[in-house]
């Protein structure tokens, strides 16, 4: 059996030719060795450390007024929501067991939709407070009053969610 060594011989000779070309003239190409100025030595001294950041500015009077208005609007919407809960509960109790063609069932579903809309009014005030919080943060102003209002409105929204979830579970 005869072995074919032609392709291997051709590949070896091509490699040697290319390698010889790389080693032919060292002055023609720069060396890839690390040069003296590329070596890292010594230490850099930090002068004085990192300066402390200034305290955020007080929020603008317009921002404070807007926070108060949003909190009052959320509280009013929440009171309106709570005022509608008992009527919705009454309608749901009257519609229990009735089919979708019944007028009482339809009235109960409308009452649930009204409650959901009133909940959305509170949630939109929460979104407005989120935007105000972001804008005030970007202006590097104090956020305490906005965060407190946001926490209060978030609690109102959570309470309304809990009530709505309970009413929806009873309507099914």
Q: Which domains does the chain have, with CATH numbers?
A: 61-171 (1.10.132)
**What confidence tier does 61 reach under pLDDT thresholds 50, 70, 90?**
very high
How far is Cα 135 from Cα 131, in angstroms, rounded to an integer? 6
Query: In sequence order, which residues have a C-beta less than 8 Å from that of residue 74 and are 6 or more positions away?
Result: 121, 122, 125, 126, 152, 153, 156
**What confidence tier does 23 reach under pLDDT thresholds 50, 70, 90?**
low
Average pLDDT, the chain: 87
**What confidence tier does 75 reach under pLDDT thresholds 50, 70, 90?**
very high
Quick one: pLDDT at residue 26? 65
Backbone phi, psi, residue 33, to 5°: -70, 155
Residue 67: is its pLDDT beyond 90? yes
Percent of residues, the chain, with pLDDT higher than 90: 56
Least confident of 12-26, 39-53, 74-88, 154-168: 12-26
pLDDT greater at residue 167 or residue 49:
167
Q: What is the 3-state secondary structure (H, E, C) of the chain?
A: CCCCCHHHHHHHHHHHHHHHHHCCCCCCCCCCCCCHHHCCCCCCCCCCCCCCCCCCECCCHHHHHHHHHHHHHHHHHHHHHHHHHHHHHHHHHHHCCCCCCCHHHHHHHHHHHHHHHHHHHHHHHHHHHHHHHHHHHHCCECCHHHHHHHHHHHHHHHHHHHHHHHHHHHHC
**What confidence tier does 125 reach under pLDDT thresholds 50, 70, 90?**
very high
Quick one: pLDDT at residue 6? 67
Quick one: pLDDT at residue 30? 76
End-to-end CA separation in angstroms for the chain: 86
57 bridge partner residues:
141
Q: Is the pTM of this model over 0.75?
A: no
Quick one: pLDDT at residue 131? 97
Q: Are 69 and 128 in contact (CB under 8 A)?
A: no
């Amino acid at each position: 059996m005869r072995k074919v060594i032609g392709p291997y011989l051709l590949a070896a000779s091509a490699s040697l030719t290319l390698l010889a070309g790389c080693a032919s003239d060292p002055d023609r190409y720069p060396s890839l060795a690390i040069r003296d100025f590329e070596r890292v030595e010594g230490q850099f001294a930090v002068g004085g450390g990192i300066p402390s950041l200034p305290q955020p500015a007080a929020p603008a009077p317009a921002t404070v007024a807007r926070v108060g208005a949003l909190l009052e609007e959320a509280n009013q919407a929440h009171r309106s929501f709570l005022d509608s809960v008992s009527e919705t509960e009454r309608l749901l109790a009257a519609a229990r067991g009735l089919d979708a063609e019944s007028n009482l069932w339809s009235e109960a579903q409308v009452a649930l939709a009204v409650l959901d809309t009133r909940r959305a009014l509170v949630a939109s005030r929460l979104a407005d407070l989120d935007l105000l919080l972001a804008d005030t943060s970007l202006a590097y102003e104090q956020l305490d009053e906005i965060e407190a209002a946001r926490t209060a409105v978030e609690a109102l929204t959570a309470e309304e969610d809990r009530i709505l979830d309970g009413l929806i579970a009873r309507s099914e």
